[in-house]
Structure 1
């Protein structure tokens, strides 16, 4: 006991450290120790030093002072570097966050070359001999399978099924009585299949070109998957992943993105949703404003459907008439049809009597008889089916969803990054124009109609991306000449001919080489070159016009999207993508970043911000609402928000509803339609007044129309509960609850006519005119998706007007906790479709839709301001609105 007490007395009751812990602590302590030097070590005399460094009125000599403290400054920098790496005990822990992977701790090939020697020493120290193999050992242990991929997969599955059939009692009973394991020699069959699988590793696998010799012209297995007047089949990848691609097809970059991004299964594709690392600030800094950007963001947009339509009839104006009907006459204007500008606008469904908005589209006129049409996958099949059924003999339609891939890239370094990996096969005017503007970072100085069509070499010929040496900087004359040379004649039509035809795309795959073949050519090139030539020239494989393939590509600027669109053949997408992401300051993004950038630029994102389309309604109600509801229901009752018991939401409480209004987890446009149409109906019935409730009567039914009678606002809420109740049966809505009305500069282009509501059926059927707005919060807070938008009551206008100017305390600071007047439920005019904190403004901002009649308010302040309340809260924020063109 005395020994224990003595031990406690020495260390003060603290836990003793072992030798390893003492070493690590001393290592960190030494790294953070900064050595200093006395000032009198200088060669100057003390009087001169005191004179140059005195603080009583004399001037400090900066150069002499820094010279005397040079030792301390160097030691400070050294200590900062040592302290940064002192806690990193292994190589992969010292890597940047972007390069860190779990496999980097045991695979030396996942570590940069400059750190591999240190990593090999660490692996040898830890006896990880299996992962540190020599070059000769790796060449002798190559995995070559004798069976083809499908036969190997079938053999492995047969082994599993035979084992299951011999062990599962239910399967034994399901088989006929005369079939037994001993009679059919199940053990011998399993043994034979396992031997076949094992022996197949020592034989050579037949190449893909041998299997499909009539279909392929290369060893990479690239082919053109195009459907002529029919939908193309879903491409199948490796047999290993065939079960995962039955319902959802994979993009060319799926495996690359699966390691770096979160993927979602939507619209028949596995699409990148957002990078695994935090990137909200990065996306804003690189993608929102070109002036503040110092990099680029790229995304695989191959999920966007592309079709090529050719007019094969004698009527040369047929295609122009069809495009005019699909776009309400916009894409057939001279600036698109004649000048060959890229059309970015809405497309309509012309199959029914009333043309409905389907969604956004991109249309490019190749010539008067051919166009390239790009659509969102949700509306692609609708347009394709209509055109093939209606114009099967007049049009030739190519389904290029799986034969043309695309990349969207934005940011100040977008053209610079592309120029680092693209090299022309021959002298090309388009490529020379591209070289002149590749270093331009501000796209506002470039013409809006700017496109390039050229043939480039395989980007894998470059061992690493390298910038083009452009000695002559671009000037105004070059930009003017580039804009004047833009035409789809000559070289443009030649390249687009290869890109828009099956033969041209197949020809681009001719003799497409594998990585091993390119590596062999590069090694021969290195051995043949002299030692005096630059290493950069040694690593570029020269282009052989007779054997090497040329890649046709089309690059165009999209002014509305504020990005660049690169269209290439499907199987050339991955080589370009790998090289593009090796360029410094180029990052990948997903759908979440596209939505963020559109929100910051006051633009609508499809389909979330399109509630006036069928796809937008489906995205909002079933998909987003059900997912948020399921997440809410997973929580226990004590930890989830009770929406029905939120107090003090409105100034008046009605018995028909308590707590939150409408659907808690979505923008309830049906509820808004009933509220706004019901208010107009009640005003017509009661001479301009809106009675809230009649305490003497309950809700009555109209036997003629088989619906509830609406005599006051409380009856409207009862009608909504009756319509949305699942027990009453599913309600089939033939019309959308809202219809858009575009406004310009705050003035309505189309005057709103006063709707006449005869009965309650008209309330639920007539769509509500809405207008897209961008709301900027005047004070604190930030709105969220599905927030409620209210108009300001007339009696509360003086208070909110003073809030906009600022309510201050006695000490001069803003008062953010004063009591606010609550609006009524009849003041609900809209919903927020997308909102969060805007880094560009440094304040909360949101996009949404409000009833168009609100913009015709007589009071200017009430017309330009609204109140926003997040779902599930009772806090209102004042916001200023700006209209957005649809």
Structure 2
């Protein structure tokens, strides 16, 4: 017989659970739970109502007191529950103020919550991070080494300067008369040249400007692009364009790092304000005879309506625009290219004429003949989107060379910056930031000067309530001298409201506006060069009395500003919109502030830190917020909504490339296979 097979070893029981740890080891390895300190946080005291009933009768006084006791106990319980450990310390911070969603560094939590955060982390055994004990990464190590080399280089230069100064002092104090005489002659020549002012360089006509030379430590980062004046402010608070992919040759802020869709909607329409640094918008300067500038703008299609016919822009209706008290917004075309060869929407601003108030509104034939005879020079600005700047520049330069009357064309991209702000609190924020300095005024006009009218706009909650496309030009003091700004108080009573309504209806600036200093290149350069350093501003503020601003000085800079108002285009031609939308609805107007390029940053900081009367501060806006506001106002956004133009088609190609790269970065299992979609 065949031998019996050996008995198989019993199969391991795969359903058997893994060996459990002992209770002591298990307890030792389990993390310690968070201690619940407020054990009575959710307990609510009550009181029996039996004492209120005696012999079957209700004692109203005791019954009401017992209910009062329970209501107060309920309110105290709600307060205790709110202070309990149901929320972490970092969750008590508003979301827009959190530097991280859940920070493990107690120093990133406000001081009032720092003790509680440290206690929670210690009880939970949360690993905390200390900056001085953190192991530096490769990028951080490179930054530390670079900073160390810069410090060493700076100390060497300081030592060389100190040695040279000591050697010069020894030469002066020595008995060597020749050396002393040489040093004295050198000092006298230096002082002589210091007293003589340098000649203002001539403006290069029809030549593109180069961006200003950045500081040495930021120079390598701006090789293929330029920074806005507020770049360092935005880089810490917003998503910027990629370093190697600038937008329109600028590093443009795209959107704030915090969630901002709903807050932007509220701030731009209900309460608050939203501001953008629009210094990347290009500016061109025109100078020449009024007839020559008019001919050039006419060739560009200014004043042509939708039917291709000339409007009354060059007649009596456009008189305020030509006098420099209104702006014109419309489309520019190539010469004889209407309507197929559109370039971009633009804003044209004339420099106001130097005339007495009696001459406003009166232009007889004699005055016109005299102006043509003497060929009085006028100035104008053209503001256009940077995506279409080169196209407009080439067209303007070509037309200026073909005209009989000479027209000077100047590139002002890096000389004039701009800030846009919209919302119910926009006027209030600008009033608290821009303080008029001593400027030209009309004594006979009284309170009708632009400075006085600007101060009287307290209470305006919508810039669209001003006259359409109104202009206010004056000079302001350095906003750093009255930083931090204080909330503007609105005068109470119906009398102030009635006065405001009269000012808005009469608008006396049309009769008192003098030529804006922003059109003068010397005034722009002088205000930019005379801006004191932050160290000097801080020294003056420290010498002032507590709670008081530094007293103004005669040598304080006067910053020329130009304020433009604009309204959202109302879709009255679309029958799908309602009656309220056809009349403009509740769309907010927009303030556009033009000022010298180097003065944008001081004004921006004061504007961002202005405490609004409705609460909070002015919100930061990026490119996405600009598109959102235009979409909610039912207005197209250039260049994205105009693919028929060269700038709009370039934007479409840019967006197409971005979307394709984003689609390719996704895994194959999580991206849409367009080949299988039936389109």
Instruction: State the TM-score, normalizing by the size of structure 1.
Output: 0.53
Whether the 8 Å CA contact 1:274–1:590 is kept in 2: the answer is: yes
C-alpha distance 49-617 of structure 1, shift in aligned 2 (>3 A): farther
Which residue in 1 is equivalent to 2:333? 348
- How much has 1:114 moved relative to structure 2? 6.7
Tell whether the 8 Å contact from 1:280 to 1:593 is kept in structure 2 after alignment: yes
Structure-1 residue corresponding to 2:351: 366
Judged with a 3 Å threshold, the aligned counterparts in structure 2 of structure 1 residues 36 and 64 are, in CA distance, closer, same or farther, namely: closer
Retained in 2: the 8 A contact 1:323–1:332?
no
Which residue number corresponds to residue 81 of structure 2? Answer: 79
Corresponding position: 1:26 with 2:7: no
Q: Which runs of 5+ in 2 are unaligned?
A: 1-18, 122-126, 134-142, 165-189, 305-312, 354-377, 442-448, 570-588, 611-615
Q: 1:129 to 1:349 in 2, by over 3 A?
A: closer
2:293 pairs, out of 299, 319, 327, with 319
- What is the aligned partner in structure 1 of residue 320 from structure 2? 338
- Separation of aligned partners in 2, 1:194 and 1:360: 49
**Preserved CA contact (<8 Å) 1:335 1:341:** no
The answer for the alignment partner of 2:638 in structure 1 is: 606
Partner of 2:258: 277
Asked if the contact 2:271/2:424 (under 8 Å) is kept, the reply is: yes
Question: For residue 259 of structure 1, what is the aligned residue in structure 2?
Answer: 236
Contact map agreement 1:422 1:457 (CA 8 A) in 2: yes
Deviation string, structure 1 residues 21-47 (Cα, Å, up to 9, x no partner): 34x3324x64x8234222359997878
Q: Give me the whole-angstrom Cα distance separating, in 2, the residues matched to 1:572 and 1:637.
A: 50
Rounded Cα–Cα distance in structure 1 between residues aligned with 2:253 and 2:202? 23
Cα distance between partner residues in 2 of 1:93 and 1:504: 51
**Measured at CA, do residues 477 and 641 of structure 1 come closer, stay the same or move farther in structure 2, by a change above 3 Å?**
same
Distance 2:274 2:424 in 1: 9
- Alignment RMSD, CA only? 4.4
Structure 1 residues 71 and 488, CA, compared in 2 at 3 Å: closer, same or farther? same
Q: Say whether residues 1:438 and 2:461 are aligned partners.
A: no
Matched, 1:569 2:596: yes
1:629 is aligned to 2:660:
yes
CA contact (8 A) 1:410 1:564 kept: yes
**SS of 1:233 mapped into structure 2:** coil
Aligned-pair CA distance for 1:390: 3.6
Secondary structure at the aligned position of 2:433 is classed as coil
- Cα shift at 1:389: 3.9
| Secondary structure in structure 1 of the residue aligned to 2:524 | helix
Matches within 5 A, 1:548-563: 548-560=556-568, 562-563=589-590
Residue 592 of structure 1 deviates from its aligned partner by 1.0
2:431 to 408, 419, 422: 419
**What SS is found at the alignment partner of 1:556?**
strand
Shift of the 241–119 alpha-carbon distance from structure 1 to 2, 3 Å rule, reads: farther
Partners of 2:348 and 2:381 within 8 A in 1 = yes
SS in 2 for 1:69: helix
Cα separation, 2, equivalents of 1:225 and 1:286: 45
- Secondary structure of 2:603 counterpart: helix
- Residue 551 of structure 1 deviates from its aligned partner by 1.6
Distance 1:466 1:230, change over 3 A: same
1:86-141 Cα deviation digits (max 9, x unpaired) = 522xxx77543333337998797x87687799999999x9996979xxxxxxxxxx
- What's the counterpart of residue 357 of structure 1? 342
Query: Against the structure 1 CA distance between its residues 82 and 228, is the aligned structure 2 distance closer, same or farther, given a 3 Å change threshold?
Result: farther
SS of alignment partner, residue 654 of structure 2: helix
Greater relative CO (CA pairs within 8 A, separation 6+)? 2
| CA spacing shift, 1:337–1:434, aligned 2, 3 Å | same
> 2 CA distance for matches of 1:608 and 1:225?
38
Does the Cα contact within 8 Å between 2:106 and 2:114 map onto a contact in 1? no
Deviation readout 1:356-410 (Å, 9 max, x if unpaired): 1011111122247222210011222222233334425711223211111110101
The match for 1:236 is 213
Q: 1:107 to 1:547 in 2, by over 3 A?
A: farther
Unaligned regions of 5+ residues in structure 1, if any? 55-60, 132-152, 160-192, 207-211, 218-222, 527-534, 647-658, 661-886
- Work out the CA distance in 2 between the residues paired with 1:274 and 1:367: 37
* Alignment partners' CA distance in 1, 2:659 and 2:239: 18
Distance 1:43 1:454 in 2: 77
- Matched with 1:720 is none
Q: Distance in 1 between matches of 2:302 and 2:215?
A: 44
The range that moved more, 447-456 or 599-608, is: 447-456
**What's the secondary structure of 1:359's corresponding residue?**
strand
Tell me if the contact between 1:446 and 1:479 (Cα under 8 Å) persists in the aligned partners: no
Summarize the Cα distance change of 1:470–1:282 in structure 2 as closer, same or farther, 3 Å threshold: closer
Inter-partner Cα distance in structure 1 for 2:438 and 2:454:
14
Cα distance in structure 2, aligned partners of 1:603 and 1:272: 21
Comparing 379-388 with 438-447, greater Cα deviation is found at 438-447
1:572 to 1:443, Cα distance in 2 relative to 1, 3 A:
closer
- Of 497, 508, 517 in structure 2, the residue corresponding to residue 475 of structure 1 is 497
Tell me the residue number matched to 2:391.
382
Change over 3 Å in CA distance of 1:373–1:113 after alignment to 2: farther
How much has 1:549 moved relative to structure 2? 1.1
Q: Please name the residue that 2:526 is paired with.
A: 507
Q: Is the 8 A contact 1:336 1:364 kept in 2?
A: no
Counterparts of 1:552 and 1:601, CA distance in 2: 31
Is 1:524 matched with 2:543?
A: yes
Of the three residues 91, 98, 110, the one matched with 2:96 is: 98
Report Cα offsets for 1:497-541 as digits up to 9, x if no partner.
Answer: x21111111222353222211111111113xxxxxxxx5xx3312
Instruction: Render the CA deviation track for 1:53-76: whole Å, top value 9, x for unaligned.
Output: 99xxxxxx7x98456522330331
1:493: how far off? 2.3
The correspondence for 1:447, drawn from 454, 464, 467, is: 467
Do structure 1's residue 485 and structure 2's residue 507 form an aligned pair? yes
Aligned residues of 2:41 and 2:80 also touching (Cα < 8 A): no
Q: For 2:276 and 2:211, locate their aligned partners in 1 and report how far apart those are by CA, in whole Å.
A: 21
Distance between the aligned counterparts of 2:475 and 2:535, measured in 1? 24
Deviations 1:550-606 (A, max 9, x none): 222121211137311111111111011111111233111111111122122221111
Q: Alpha-carbon deviation of 1:267?
A: 1.0
Other structure's SS at 2:219 match = helix
| Residues in 2 aligned to 1:68 and 1:107: alpha-carbon distance in whole angstroms | 39
What are the equivalent positions in structure 2 for 1:458-857 lying under 5 Å apart? 458-472=478-492, 474-487=496-509, 490=512, 492-494=513-515, 496=516, 498-526=517-545, 535=546, 538-544=547-553, 546-560=554-568, 562-583=589-610, 584-620=616-652, 622-646=653-677, 659-660=678-679
Instruction: Tell me the secondary structure at the aligned position of residue 420 of structure 1.
Output: helix
413-422 or 325-334, which deviates more: 325-334
Q: Mark the CA change 1:329 to 1:82 in structure 2 (over 3 Å): closer, same or farther.
A: same
Relative to 1, partners in 2 of residues 1:636 and 1:472: Cα closer, same or farther, differing over 3 Å?
A: closer
Query: Aligned-pair distance for 1:7?
Result: 5.4
Change (3 A) 1:224 1:567: farther
Distance 2:601 2:192 in 1: 24
Q: Is the 8 A contact 1:419 1:467 kept in 2?
A: no
Question: CA offset at residue 255 of structure 1?
Answer: 1.2
Residue 199 of structure 1 pairs with residue 194 of structure 2: no
- 3-state SS of the aligned residue for 2:413? coil
d(CA) in 1 for partners of 2:435, 2:151: 49
Contact 1:294 1:585 in 2 (8 A): no
Aligned partner of 1:649 in structure 2 is none
